[in-house]
A and B are shown apart, each in its own frame.
Chain A
């Protein structure tokens, strides 16, 4: 699909919707309802101030929870011609210092919520020239760094669109991936990458200006950010709710605001099903058009349960993506949800996926290989890391590291990660298969299977499990498990926990999980 003329830069999503629907509500958070023109004005004011800081083609770090200021900061930085890097809100001082050294941003924009992290970090030895804080509570006057309050730089500035000459091939964003091992890598995305992926997602999910999206995923995570960009590109509305720890509050707001779409990672759905009153609200969620899931494999038992509990008007879309692909690569259309429940669907518009063997040759239908994606959404590479870029990018596209196959109707299926196969005794074991079997026992809300190094076996399998209900114990689970799995695939130990350690984006944090086992 050809991109709309004059609509090839990410911030033009906001500018176009502000022109077409100036008084339409773009964003709802708690009691605040903000229109497109209000957000565009605020972004413009920030952009003009940033321009005075000479940030064009420089990096700006954004450390903000989901909020109006995040949205204004994100689009404002892009309008000023800068490259935005959103930082995980659960960052610790050491991690922040590392990211700032890598990124070398000129300006950091944040809020009072992160002042303690900022104070505990050494900001003097970084490239930062200015710090902007929304409603600061601590004293910054003695710092060498120039510190400004959000409110002082937003007021009394011009509010026309700055319309700087920016090419769509220029970098728009650097997104640091959590990475299951090693240091985080900065994924470089151009305006074209993000704009094309945004259009493809809108097409796949038929997103229109009538859509009202509930957002519980953080915007620093590409899946969360894609919810913002898709809805702003068509003039829809996003409802920000940062209280998913209390899922009942989210469901109530979905009813009150007549939300049409909800998006989550597997753990979001596990919590909605088992720790929230979702079933009681079935009749009231009349506006809910669809739920979309991405961010990892969701077990069949959760998918079946969702189908049973969600109202009939709500379709379910399973999606697959990667930060390196701007956000999404595939989508399973709702009509196929029942028949192809284990599939991640087909590539979304403009994306091609090949399944390659180790010699970079396409495998036969049904054979397992690595998924390699190509299209205008594939990243430019990793920031300051040519070696890592060369390992995953080549003439075939982006090597996802995910193993999968395609059926004779073109539907794709994932079987696991290339690097997560565990050697136990003489066997190569895919933890995902064991996690699925544990979920099928219906005694388990969430599970992660880990390989703990073992001198004799190579690895020992240990499962961290969140049980459903009171009377569940490890023996009960093991008993059901042995009936489903060969002996060597049964975990040697099951540890019951209330919560499996996760990152803010809701994915399992395997490093914390391993530390938990060691304790």
Chain B
């Protein structure tokens, strides 16, 4: 697993899953699986902006970019290249 993916995963596990990552797959939809709710997505956006020094544009607030660990990792990769 890439470092970026690990970082995102540990943020999700610590902040939304009480440190328990049992059954969490990197391709699971945050919202459909109830891993993160709507307000949590915005907390995730805050984390990404601070941790990876990027700015998430409003048009980028779509499930394809932000609704799973895999999606977030590939979004970050695109943003940073």
Using CB atoms and an 8 Å cutoff, list the residues of chain A in contact with chain B. Answer: 65, 89-90, 92-93, 111-114, 116-117, 119-120, 137-138, 216, 242-249, 274-276, 470, 497-499, 502-504, 506
Whether the pair B58, A111 counts as a contact (CB closer than 8 A) is: no
Q: Which residues of B contact A247 (CB under 8 A)?
A: 61
- Contact residue among B31, B33, B39 (Cβ-Cβ distance under 8 Å from A503): B39
**Cβ A504 vs Cβ B18 within 8 A:** no
Say yes or no: is B14 at the interface (Cβ < 8 Å to chain A).
no
Q: Do B34 and A243 have beta carbons less than 8 Å apart?
A: no
- Residue on A with the closest CB to B64? A246
* Contact B61 A248, beta carbon cutoff 8 Å: yes
B9-23 to A contact mask, C-beta < 8 Å, 1/0: 000000001101011
Choice from A111, A112, A502 contacting B39 with Cβ under 8 Å? A502
With a CB–CB cut-off of 8 A, which chain B residues contact A498? Answer: 42, 45-46, 49, 56
Q: Is B27 an interface residue (CB 8 A)?
A: no
User: What is the CA–CA distance of A503 and B37 in the complex, to the nearest angstrom?
Assistant: 11
Known A-B contacts: A137-B23, A499-B39, A499-B43. Give 20 more (CB < 8 A): A65-B34, A89-B37, A90-B37, A113-B33, A116-B17, A116-B18, A119-B20, A216-B38, A243-B38, A246-B62, A247-B61, A248-B61, A248-B62, A274-B58, A497-B46, A498-B42, A498-B45, A499-B45, A504-B37, A506-B39
Instruction: Give the residues in chain B near A89, CB-CB below 8 Å.
Output: 37
The answer to whether B41 has its CB under 8 Å from any CB of chain A is: yes
> Which residues of A sit under 8 angstroms from B39, Cβ to Cβ?
90, 245, 499, 502-504, 506
CA distance A242 to B56 in the complex (A): 21
Q: Least Cβ distance of A25 to chain B in Å?
A: 22
CB nearest to B62 among chain A residues:
A246
> Whose C-beta in chain B lies nearest to the C-beta of A121?
B18
| Cβ-defined partner of A243 (8 Å) among B23, B55, B56, B63 | B63
- One of B17, B23, B38, B61 near A242 (C-beta < 8 A): B38
Residues of B within 8 A of A116 (CB): 17-18, 20
State the total of A-B contacts with C-beta under 8 angstroms: 72
Complex Cα spacing A504 to B38, Å: 8
Could you tell me if A275 and B61 are in contact, using CB atoms closer than 8 angstroms?
A: yes
- CB<8 Å pairs between A and B, sample of 7: A93-B18, A113-B33, A245-B42, A246-B41, A246-B62, A498-B56, A499-B45
Q: Which residue of B lies closest to A137 (CB)?
A: B23
Residues 28-61 of B at the A interface (beta carbon under 8 Å): 31, 33-34, 37-43, 45-46, 49, 55-56, 58, 61
Nearest CB to that of B44 among chain A residues?
A: A245
Given contacts A138-B22, A498-B46, contact A246 B37 (CB under 8 A): no
- Cα A430 to Cα B16 in complex, Å, equals 35
A220 to nearest B CB, angstroms? 12
Contacts A89-B37, A246-B62 given; indicate if A499 touches B18 (C-beta within 8 A): no
Least distance between A227 CB and chain B CB atoms (Å): 16
Q: List A contacts of B61 (CB < 8 A).
A: 245-248, 275
Rank and list the top 9 A-B pairs by shortest CB-CB distance, nearest first: A113-B34, A245-B41, A245-B38, A499-B42, A275-B58, A244-B38, A498-B46, A120-B18, A243-B31
- Contact residues in A for B46 (Cβ distance below 8 Å): 497-499
A65: chain B residues at CB < 8 Å are 34, 37
List residues of chain A with CB within 8 A of the CB of B31: 242-243, 245
Alpha-carbon separation in the docked complex, A285 to B22 (Å): 43
A11 to B59, CA, bound (A): 42
In the bound assembly, the distance between CA atoms of A502 and B40 in angstroms comes to 10
Expressed in whole angstroms, the minimum distance between the Cβ of A429 and any Cβ of chain B is 28
B residues within 8 A CB of A137?
A: 23
Docked CA distance A111–B46 (Å):
28
Say how far B29's CB is from chain A's closest CB, in angstroms: 10
Residues of A within 8 A of B63 (CB): 243, 246, 249
Cβ of B56: which chain A residues have Cβ within 8 Å of it? 498
Chain A residues, CB < 8 A from B23: 137-138
A59 to B: closest C-beta gap in Å: 24
> Are A114's CB and B34's CB within 8 A?
yes
Q: For residue A114, which residues in chain B have a CB less than 8 angstroms away from its CB?
A: 34
**B20 and A120 form a contact (CB under 8 A):** yes
- Alpha-carbon separation in the docked complex, A186 to B39 (Å): 24
Cα separation A119 to B22 with both chains bound (whole Å): 12
The distance in angstroms between the C-alpha atoms of A246 and B39, with both chains bound, is 10
A30–B7 CA distance with the chains assembled, in angstroms? 31
A165 to chain B, nearest CB (A): 37
Cβ–Cβ < 8 Å partners of A506 in chain B:
39
Q: How far is the CA of A57 from the CA of B1 in the complex (A)?
A: 53
| A506→B42 CA distance, assembly (Å) | 12
Residue of B nearest to A244 (CB): B38
Complex interface: chain A residues within 8 A of B17 (CB): 116
Across the interface, which residues of A come within 8 angstroms of B18, CB to CB? Answer: 92-93, 116-117, 120
In whole angstroms, what is the CA distance A111 to B45 when docked?
26
Q: Tell me the bound Cα distance from A112 to B20 in angstroms.
A: 14
Q: How far is the CA of A183 from the CA of B22 in the complex (A)?
A: 31
From known contacts A245-B61, A248-B61, A499-B42, infer whether A111 and B37 are also in contact, taking CB-CB under 8 Å: no
Residue of A89, A247, A498 with most chain B CB atoms under a 10 A cut-off: A498
